[in-house]
Copies of this chain bind each other. A is one copy, B any other.
Amino acid sequence: MTQGQAESYRILHEVDLRDYLAGRPKLVTVLGGAPGDWSITEVGDGNLNLVFIVKGARGGVAVKQALPYVRLVGESWPLPLSRAHYEYLALTRQAELAPGLVPSVLHHNDALALTVMELLEPHIIMRKGLIAGTQYPRFVDDVTTFMAQTLFFTSDLALTAAEKKEGIAAFAGNHALCKITEDLIFTDPYRVAEQNRWTAPYLDATAAALRDDMELHVAISRLKLKFMASPEALIHGDLHTGSIMVTGSETRVIDPEFAFYGPMGFDVGAVLANLLMAYFASAGHERAPGERAAFEAWVLETVESVWNGFARKFLDLWRAGATGDAYPVSLFAGEQGAARLEAERQTYMQRLFADTVGFAAAKTIRRIFGLAHNIDFELIEDPKRRAISEARAVRLARGMMVETAAFPAIADVTGAARKLRDWQAELSG
């Protein structure tokens, strides 16, 4: 599937792309009709890459090409093309582990940093659906399967130590993408940084308080170290609701270019954080009080079901016969051994939950004070109303990060969120 190693990189504009695709018989078959009749539209709305949708007489494909810089910022912020290689590696591994939950790869070209995938239609970015107040009945089951399968089967519970080390090494080169996370999530929002922004002037005092909050700085630094030095499993690395495409009946996880071996809680926390932000943003999108109450209830229920479903599926995989080098079954023989191992599994999940709570908080704060915001909040036009929603999310996040032990169960998170639904922050300005 990988071709064209000898080619050199060039940005494929529409004309080049048409020629490129027309030269791949497999893709010509998928698209159908004459290449000259294919429609090609650039649709990339992410921060990093070019994305084209190409449609022919028979079918369509999505084409993603990495740019040698961060699209959101421009050529002043270079970023290695190799991320397309790691994304391809991750996509193929995820397809094996969670079949049907990631887009199929039709073609990949490392030199061009280009990947052609099945066109997901009529899927939409989940975040947009959440802003519109749409509920997704398949989401919990699909995303928990995706996380449980991809995380468990790339962990020490499923792999030999040698396989695990090979996996870590295979993704070690993706450090430029990790650094974006290290800087933008774990560092910049907590200090003066040129790229930070927030809903000013309303959150000025909150932003200043974060910069002076040393308990929070210790907490975020511990999470950063965990992100850098805990290769627990092959994580997606950017599992927010903008990386998930949905219909009423299907879910696809896309864009794993941040993939590497990191802490599992970073992925699970990303999903929870983005649901919690959808919850807090919801009040900003309602046109009449209570209008979105059913949606909001579904979101919080989904937060609980995501953790509970993930934990159950992960534990079931572990119980079903773990083949990894960690916790060897031979040390837990007999009834007493089985009982002790089961208790240890619960302890393991409790630790993973605490990580999840901390990472969810980190993912929330970066979206409100860092460089990259999300449209859940950004589309609330009235800045004061937006700031009120954001302040609620920040208040919860600060507690989750600094007093993680006060959230021993997922119901503690949703309970705290519910209590903050109508909390009125004192705003600046």
Contacts and interface: CB of A to CB of B under 8 A. Distances in A.
Interface of A: 156, 161-162, 164-166, 168-169, 172-173, 175-176, 178-179, 182, 187, 190-191, 212, 214-215, 217-218, 220-221, 224-225, 228-232, 325-328, 330-333, 336-337, 340-341, 344
Nearest 9 Cβ contacts at the A-B interface: A169-B172, A214-B340, A162-B175, A165-B172, A169-B169, A217-B331, A225-B326, A165-B175, A221-B327
A224 B332 contact: no
A161 B173 contact: no
16 contacts: A156-B225, A162-B178, A164-B228, A164-B229, A165-B173, A165-B178, A168-B169, A191-B330, A191-B331, A191-B333, A220-B331, A221-B326, A221-B331, A228-B326, A229-B230, A229-B326
Given A161-B175, A162-B179, A168-B169, 6 more contacts: A214-B332, A214-B336, A214-B337, A218-B340, A221-B327, A221-B344
A220 B332 CA distance: 12
Contacts of A214: 332, 336-337, 340
B328 A221 contact: yes
A330 B175 CA distance: 21
B179 A161 contact: yes
Contacts of A337: 214, 217
Contacts of A229: 156, 164, 230-232, 326
A161 B182 contact: yes
A132 to B, nearest CB: 38
A37 B200 CA distance: 84
Nearest to A344: B218
B230 A230 contact: yes
Contacts of A225: 156, 326-327
Contacts of A228: 156, 161, 164, 325-326
A169 B173 contact: yes
Contacts of A191: 328, 330-331, 333
A332 B166 CA distance: 36
A216 to B, nearest CB: 9
A81 B161 CA distance: 19
Nearest to A165: B172
B161 A331 contact: no
Nearest to A181: B161
A230 B263 CA distance: 11
Contacts of A169: 168-169, 172-173
A214 B333 CA distance: 9
Contact of A325 (B165, B182, B212, B217): B182
Nearest to A222: B344
Query: Taking each of A156, A220, A331, A336, which has the highest tally of chain B beta carbons within 10 Å of its own beta carbon?
Result: A331
A38 to B, nearest CB: 40
Contacts of A178: 161-162, 165
A50 to B, nearest CB: 25
A422 to B, nearest CB: 33
Given A187-B328, A220-B331, A166 B156 contact: no
Query: Taking each of A178, A190, A231, A328, which has the highest tally of chain B beta carbons within 10 Å of its own beta carbon?
Result: A328
Contact of A340 (B175, B179, B217, B333): B217
